[in-house]
Structure 1
Amino acid sequence: MSSGNLLLSHGRLSARYRYSAQRVFSLKRTDKATFSNQLLVSRPLSSHIATTYLAKERAVAIEAVECASKVCQSVFKRLVAEETLTKNDKSPVTVADFGAQAVVNSILEKHFPQDPIVGEEDSKDLHGDQGRALREKVVELVNTATETPMSSDEVLRAIDRGQYAGGSKGRHWTLDPIDGTKGFLRGEQFAVCLALIIDGKVRLGVLGCPNLPCQMDKLDGERGVLMVAVEGQGAFQRRLNAKSSEEEETPIHVADIADTKEAIFCESVESGHTSHGDNANIAKLLNITKPPIRIDSQCKYAAVARGDADIMLRLPTSSTYVEKIWDHGAGNIIMHEAGGRVGDINGNPLDFSAGRTLSANGGGVIAASAKIFDVVISAVQTTLAQKSQ
């Protein structure tokens, strides 16, 4: 079992796919199929959802994320050290990051040419003689996933469509082509994350999680999950890169707990992304005794949204670090539509209207079931206050 599997196995081995009757009825399902612990249910997504608000955007976003996920998986199978760069902030970037961003951006441009994009990467490291080797690998990779071949210039331009500044007016997409690059390099958890922001609010989110188990109590079973949510329509999951274009989806919901002593944390593997020590203190205040699930990327949102864990903590490790909108856009709406809440360390909702970052927020990100969110925020504030004394 890999280290990633071991980390996952510390958590809830019997995944809690408990959907409340209220949630089921709110979906207005036309059948009475019994929900099971399987990833799929017995019928496709209800037709009323497929024909409503942002239906085209939903379908295109799923197509883009699935295509980018295939690109990432292809790269991992033949990944070599020379295909990895290190940015100034010490974070690694692979040919898959560039390739996935080019693929997603080109698909979005095809269907929504007027929509700008806030993406994590830019093409500066791919230019000139110094970037030639990596550039050629990226172009080759992109052309395995596109309908028509793209030239080098077209690939670079597609990547750089992600340089939009963001803001509070109009609509734009935000993309993290590989969230959790270190997890990707380890062969563990990473996610392709795409969200649509309209007038400063996330309205649509898609997460592609190629290595996430379809069932957390079957770690050696099938892997690869796609989660999607549209504002007001609930959150759903299905197999990633399913063969059928009519792949069935199942609603997901956060676990129905009212007492934090029953809860399980979900936190980053990398201590640089969150303070594990602070998390342990918060766990004590909340009477949590179960070990945390530690996984990379927005897969943490996925785990909490479908009830594998109950609380996601990403506490500030630096007074100068500001969270980026692409790190939270898709996960934020999936959590909300699954019955959870997401906020900063003060409990304020994440503000996606301030540009490329969450600079309007107070730092950190906490996600939990709505029933326990306020209690968790209180414990967070107590811990941080004690730390500052």
Structure 2
Amino acid sequence: MSAYAKELEIAQLAVQRAVILTKRVFHEKAKGTASKDDKSPVTIGDFGAQALIISALKANFPDDEIVAEEEAASLRTDDNLRETIWDLVKATQLSDSPTEAALGGAIADEEAMLTMIDHGSSKGGAKGRIWAIDPIDGTKGFLRGGQYAVCLALMVDGEVQVGVLGCPNLPVDDAAPLTGGMESGQTDEGGRGVLFSAVLGGGATSRPLTTGTLAAQKSIAMRPLTDMTAATFCESVEAGHSAHGDQAEIAKKLGITNPSVRMDSQAKYASIARGAGDIYLRLPVNATYQEKIWDHAAGDLIVREAGGAVTDIHGKRLDFTVGRTLANNKGVVAAPAGVHSQVLTVVQEVLNSK
């Protein structure tokens, strides 16, 4: 058994329960919505999922620190929004009774929910046990019925030890190829919904998402890439998140002929980890932007445990020791370990020629 067996189990169950809430929000509130304002389904889902995950972590690991995206100040002055979120949290806890005993720490009332949300205020750093949460990664993907992920990772002294991604709209079949239609119009029904996990040194796995106890898992691995021309690479949907033009030039120089697959969230990390794709590029769009640790910690570990290498554009490992952002890194290059250096060389050639 892994030294982090309990952490892994709690993380998997907590993410799965949070996914149940986000799916309810989508089906009841999100269809036809196009924005993330203070009353939007994304806001409701973000707060609700974060509260559920933190309640499980605090019940089982009360001394651990937590870095999360949301804080509850706005909910204390908005009765309608707070009550809407509480109703969803309460309903999700009741509907997920098979795992409630394992998770413990059911949220009792609205004030307890706000307290849980505010536990995510850690500044991060290089010492101790710190969890990173992104309750809905890929907000626009969530709204359009495309790819989004519920993300949770445990860092111990700055090293990611446990990573879990709940991807409700990815196909359960690990061999299902990536297609250009994955950025929108997906559904969490009919063979979709995957929970990806990894523990440092223990490999990476996938299993179908359920509404109760955990399903059986399968080991996953990146696809051996012997012919670069047959590679598929993933990139963000939004041009504001990653430099599409540079990525197209890199693909051309590598001889990749397949069109890139655009999708939101850490579903990109998960997709290449199980061999549905091969390369994930997230190139800087400006000199000052700093990536958030919760957007990369779980995916970084899952890809590395599946046989991949993950660095920034300078070839440095992602550094989770410096707070809530990846302040020491620029961009992301993820690829099978055997070809990562080749991909990185071309990335640097293209970026240095500008």
Whether these two folds match at TM > 0.5 is: yes
C-alpha distance in structure 2 between counterparts of 1:174 and 1:208, whole Å: 14
In the TM superposition, what whole-angstrom CA distance separates every residue of 1:99-122 from its partner, at most 9, and x where no partner exists?
000000001000111111000111
1:186 to 138, 141, 144: 144
TM-score, normalisation: structure 1: 0.81
- Are 2:181 and 1:230 equivalent residues in the alignment? no
**Once the 2 structures are TM-superposed, how far is the Cα of residue 145 of structure 1 from its aligned partner?**
2.3
C-alpha distance in structure 2 between counterparts of 1:163 and 1:314, whole Å: 27
Bigger Rg over Cα = 1
Following TM superposition, where does structure 1 have runs of at least 4 consecutive aligned residues deviating by more than 3 angstroms? 80-87, 217-221
Say if 2:242 and 2:283, in contact at 8 Å, map to a contact too.
yes
In the TM superposition, what whole-angstrom CA distance separates every residue of 1:143-173 from its partner, at most 9, and x where no partner exists?
1123545322111111111110000011110
**Aligned residue-pair number:** 330
C-alpha spacing 1:137/1:173, structure 2 compared with 1 (3 Å): same
Residue in 2 that maps onto 1:121: 70
Task: Report the AA paired with residue 70 of structure 1.
Answer: I
Paired residues for 1:204-223 under 5 Å: 204-215=162-173, 216-217=176-177, 221-223=190-192
Paired residues for 1:265-304 under 5 Å: 265-304=233-272
Paired residues for 1:1-389 under 5 Å: 51-79=1-29, 85-86=36-37, 93-128=42-77, 131-146=78-93, 148=106, 150-215=108-173, 216-217=176-177, 221-241=190-210, 243=212, 245=213, 247-361=215-329, 363-387=330-354
C-alpha spacing 1:127/1:269, structure 2 compared with 1 (3 Å): same
C-alpha distance in structure 1 between counterparts of 2:41 and 2:68, whole Å: 16
**Once the 2 structures are TM-superposed, how far is the Cα of residue 326 of structure 1 from its aligned partner?**
0.1
Task: Report the AA paired with residue 125 of structure 2.
Answer: G
C-alpha distance in structure 2 between counterparts of 1:226 and 1:314, whole Å: 23
DSSP 3-state at the match of 1:280 = helix
Say if 2:282 and 2:331, in contact at 8 Å, map to a contact too.
yes
Task: Report the AA paired with residue 164 of structure 1.
Answer: S
Provide the aligned C-alpha RMSD in A. Answer: 2.0
In the TM superposition, what whole-angstrom CA distance separates every residue of 1:206-237 from its partner, at most 9, and x where no partner exists?
00000111132498951000010001110000
DSSP 3-state at the match of 1:143 = helix
> Percent of aligned pairs with the same residue?
49
Q: More helix per residue: 1 or 2? A: 2
Say if 1:209 and 1:225, in contact at 8 Å, map to a contact too.
yes
Say if 1:170 and 1:198, in contact at 8 Å, map to a contact too.
yes
Unaligned runs of 5+ residues in structure 2 are: 94-99, 101-105, 180-185
**Once the 2 structures are TM-superposed, how far is the Cα of residue 53 of structure 1 from its aligned partner?**
1.6
**Once the 2 structures are TM-superposed, how far is the Cα of residue 127 of structure 1 from its aligned partner?**
2.1
TM-score, normalisation: structure 2: 0.89
**Once the 2 structures are TM-superposed, how far is the Cα of residue 260 of structure 1 from its aligned partner?**
2.1
Task: Report the AA paired with residue 343 of structure 2.
Answer: V
C-alpha spacing 1:242/1:385, structure 2 compared with 1 (3 Å): same
C-alpha spacing 1:323/1:378, structure 2 compared with 1 (3 Å): same
In the TM superposition, what whole-angstrom CA distance separates every residue of 1:261-312 from its partner, at most 9, and x where no partner exists?
2211111111111111111000111011111111110000011000011100
Say if 1:258 and 1:371, in contact at 8 Å, map to a contact too.
no
Say if 1:92 and 1:181, in contact at 8 Å, map to a contact too.
no
C-alpha spacing 1:149/1:359, structure 2 compared with 1 (3 Å): closer
**Once the 2 structures are TM-superposed, how far is the Cα of residue 247 of structure 1 from its aligned partner?**
2.2
C-alpha distance in structure 2 between counterparts of 1:246 and 1:262, whole Å: 35
